[in-house]
Amino acid sequence: MNIRLFKPSVGEEELEMIRQAFDRSWIGLGPMVTRFEEEWAAYSGARAAIGVNSATAALHLAIASFRFPEGSRVLLPALTFAATASAVLYNRLIPVFVDSDPVTLGLDLDDLERKFTKDCVAVIPVHYAGHPVPMDRLMPWARAHGMKVIEDCAHTAGTRYKGRTLGTWGDIGCYSFEEKKLMTTGDGGMMVTDDPDLFKEVKAMRWVGIDKDNWRTAQRYTGTDADTMHWFYEISVLGWKYNMNDLAASIGLAQLKKLPAMNAHRSRMIRAYLDAIAGIPGVDPLLPFEPETCAYQMFGIRTDRSARLMAGLKSRGIATGRHYTPLGLQPLFAPWGGTTPFVDKEHERFITLPLHADLTLEEVRYVTDAIAEVAAHA
């Protein structure tokens, strides 16, 4: 047995879309990116979407688009991937780490309130593992304090929370299509916003500041009615080379069609995990999973015997992980650490278990049987 922790689920449909991009001989920023952006906006219920080459790039651009004064503070959870905090540092701002809610492991809203100071300009809720941060409570609080809200949606894609898709509650939502995520383009990301000014700004910033679509330019150039200004573009903002390309978008369009089925499959696997671990003493679900209403990118457990259990699962060919070492404990972020005591200790009890769209019920049973066996002898 060799059970992977994460695995992209890609096949003939994606290959066919790539073939079509090859046939068009247009594999850079082009019509497939535009189509994917339109389909993603429709899927998420946002007014507009912008394709980029990663969620890291999306977070960088999202923060940059607000032009906060250098040295301002940004609130974010300590329990997240480095990219959430790196994006703050890229913008020469100060990360303020917030502890985790002991039950959901999302932002602890009481600690958020305690950490707020008047130089805080934004908050980045991370829907950890795919579990919703209570945006209905966070948004009024953030607005009352004059803060922008950038949702880190790397672990969610399509979950609706109280009538709105996660990612469309804040000012900007940032999704990831890296290979371990709910759907993938190899590497890639998407930003959504309802604000036309932010949209225009970010669209230029993701492509070295150029605010015109080069596919349309080329169309005009090759059309009968060629405009002698076809070569012209204007750069009025500092941008980055962060655009998505047509190859990634082609894969994304095929994946988006499969996303509801892939999410439903993950939910079935989580339900099977939950049913099986309910009977294992000393092993609890990582958080209060609601697989019938949310799509989860990760599944995991909490246990006092995590090291022993991980070693036992490894020896049976089962990959495990820990998401994450809280960022305040990482040397890079340590200068801003030391203020999240709950998660700094609690993460030692976390084990991430295999979850992906091709996982089978037999594999889940193999994993849970192994957990029961190792736990009984721990």
Ligand X SMILES: Cc1ncc(COP(=O)(O)O)c(C=O)c1O
Residue ranges that bind ligand X, judged by CB under 6 A: 54-56, 80-81, 83-84, 126, 152, 154-155, 176, 178, 189
Minimum CB distance to ligand X, residue 126 (Å) = 5
What is d(CA 88, CA 80) in angstroms, rounded to the nearest whole number? 13
For residues 156 and 193, which CB has a smaller minimum distance to ligand X in the complex? Answer: 156
Task: Give the nearest distance from C-beta 305 to ligand X in angstroms.
Answer: 26
CB of 120 to ligand X, least distance (A): 20
Closest to ligand X by CB, 308 or 322:
322
Tell me the two tokens of residue 336. Answer: 């801003």
Using CA atoms, how far apart are residues 165 and 168, in angstroms rounded to an integer?
6
Please say which residue, 56 or 250, places its beta carbon nearer to ligand X: 56
**Residue 161 belongs to what H/E stretch?**
strand 160-161
Q: Which one, 277 or 299, has the nearer CB to ligand X?
A: 299
Which is it for strands 148-153 and 172-176: parallel, antiparallel or unpaired? parallel
Beta bridge partners of 173: 151, 192
Pick between residue 176 and residue 193 the one whose CB is nearest to ligand X. 176
In the bound complex, what is the minimum distance in angstroms from residue 234's beta carbon to ligand X? Answer: 29
CB distance 174 to 84 below 8 Å = no
Q: What are phi and psi of 121, to 5 degrees?
A: -110, -20
| Distant-in-sequence, close-in-space partners of 299: CB < 8 Å, separation ≥ 6 | 129, 269, 270, 273, 286, 289, 352, 353, 354, 355
Q: How far is the CB of 83 from ligand X (least distance, A)?
A: 4
Q: How far is the CB of 84 from ligand X (least distance, A)?
A: 5
- Sequence-ordered strand ranges (E) for 71-187: 73-77, 94-98, 120-123, 148-153, 160-161, 164-165, 172-176
Least gap, CB of 152 to ligand X (angstroms): 5
- How far is CA 197 from its chain centroid? 24
- Measured from the CB atom, is 190 or 371 closer to ligand X? 190
Asked if residue 78 lies in contact with residue 95, where contact means CB atoms within 8 angstroms, the answer is no
Q: For ligand X, which is the closer residue by CB, 148 or 181? A: 181
What is the dihedral angle through the alpha carbons of 225, 231, 236, 237, rounded to the nearest 10 degrees? Answer: 110
Say how far apart CA 294 and CA 157 lie, in whole Å.
9
Compute φ and ψ for 90, nearest 5 degrees. Answer: -55, -35
Closer to ligand X by Cβ: residue 81 or 207? 81
Quote the least distance from Cβ 160 to ligand X, whole Å. Answer: 20
Residue carrying the six token digits 């940059």: 64
